Structure 1
Amino acid sequence: MINNVVLVGRLTKDPDLRYTANGTGVAAFTLAVNRNFTNQSGNREADFINCVIWRKSAETLANYARKGTLLGVTGRIQTRNYENQQGQRVYVTEVIAENFQLLESRSANEQRQDQSSNDSSYQSGGNSYNQPSQSSKNTKPDFNRDSDPFSGSSIDIGDDDLPF
């Protein structure tokens, strides 16, 4: 049987690190994972996926990842159930993370968090996750066909320099 999950998303809040009675670390976190399409109003929706990671990886995640960190996670889906205080059976489906990877530099993460505190990148309440602001989108390189890739400087190549 195959039960593999690969997720790329942003943490919705700082990981919640706890320890079991015998000292094993366990961290719970939620990833906001964008969908590949936009809804009718043109907004990109996100799924909020509950994840759990154990042992040393849990401690490392809690030390290095913060709210908004772009994270890659591999693991498996697991379903568990328990009886709540009202005597009802509650089923929980979550991703048990086996590995994770920080997918952006610390400086990029801090810069984005500073920017998000100014323009509120996270939308509260709904099931939407906003993209970075327009100012960061305008920093892409210009791959226009007519643009000069050499910035006006000429390249001196003779016929003897060509391999063909």
Structure 2
Amino acid sequence: MQEGVKMLNCIVLMGRFTADPELKHTPNNTAVTEFRLAVDRSYIKSGQERQTDFIDIVAWRSNAEFICKHFKKGQLAVVQGSLQIRSYTDKDGIKRRAAEVLADSIYFAGSKKETETNKGSQPDDLPENISPKSSNFLEMLDDDLPF
């Protein structure tokens, strides 16, 4: 690899939460949440139904707190982040690998009506320490899309 060449690891997904996200804390009291998005594939094989992938996502600190407060099962969201591969040893001593997306930003992607019916999804309801300008989160509604 040439010196000074930067690698690119960027993923953008749009899908629905498969369950309500749950906020957890590490032993050092760092907020974290792990959740799964159901993401439809962009193509359909002839004579078959559209396939769906279930993508594991992890978010940390204020991102995790924001997600758990403002997103619910079934809600449509856009996640921007990077792919990370973890190696671990399972309870039987077998070495395993897991792929997951490390979320940098998450955006509301449902209709305005869908967003308003989910408790706490209004921008006015943000935690005191998170402002729309500083949280890396942006609400996207159908009316905002150019198509």
Task: Note whether the superposition's TM-score is higher than 0.5.
Answer: yes
Other structure's SS at 1:44 match: coil
Cα deviations across residues 30-80 of structure 1 (Å, max 9, x unaligned)? 111111122343421111110000001101101110111100010000011
Letter in 1 for 2:101: V
Q: Which one of 86, 92, 103 corresponds to residue 92 of structure 2? A: 86
Q: Which runs of 5+ in 1 are unaligned?
A: 112-164
Q: Does 1:43 align with 2:49?
A: yes
**AA matched with 2:37:** L
Equivalent of 2:78 in 72, 76, 84 = 72
Please give the secondary structure, in 2, of the residue aligned with 1:36: coil
1:122-141 alignment to 2 at 5 Å?
A: none
CA distance in 1: counterparts of 2:28 and 2:94, whole angstroms: 29
SS of equivalent residue, structure 1 residue 14: coil
Counterpart of 1:55 (choices 57, 61, 64) is 61
Are 2:108 and 2:115, in contact at CA under 8 Å, matched by a contact in 1?
Answer: no
Runs of 4+ in 1 over 6 A off after TM superposition: none
Q: Could you tell me which of 11, 17, 29 is aligned with 2:17?
A: 11
Q: Tell me: CA distance 1:21–1:55, structure 2 relative to 1, closer, same or farther (3 Å).
A: same
After superposition, the CA RMSD in angstroms is 1.9
Q: TM-score, normalised by structure 2?
A: 0.70
Distance 1:59 1:105, change over 3 A: farther
Q: Distance in 1 between matches of 2:70 and 2:81?
A: 19
Q: CA deviation at 1:109?
A: 5.1
Distance 1:6 1:72 in 2: 7
Gaps of 5+ in 2: 1-6, 118-147
CA distance in 2, matches of 1:55, 1:103: 22
**Quick one: distance in 2 between partners of 1:71 and 1:43?**
23
Give the SS at the match of 1:16.
coil
Aligned mates of 1:25, 1:92 — CA distance in 2: 21
State the alpha-carbon separation in 2 of the partners of residues 106 and 16 from structure 1: 24
Q: Select the structure of larger CA radius of gyration.
A: 1
Q: Amino acid of the residue matched to residue 47 of structure 2? A: S
- Asked if 2 retains the 8 angstrom alpha-carbon contact of 1:68 and 1:109, the reply is no
Q: What's the TM-score once normalised by structure 1's chain length?
A: 0.63
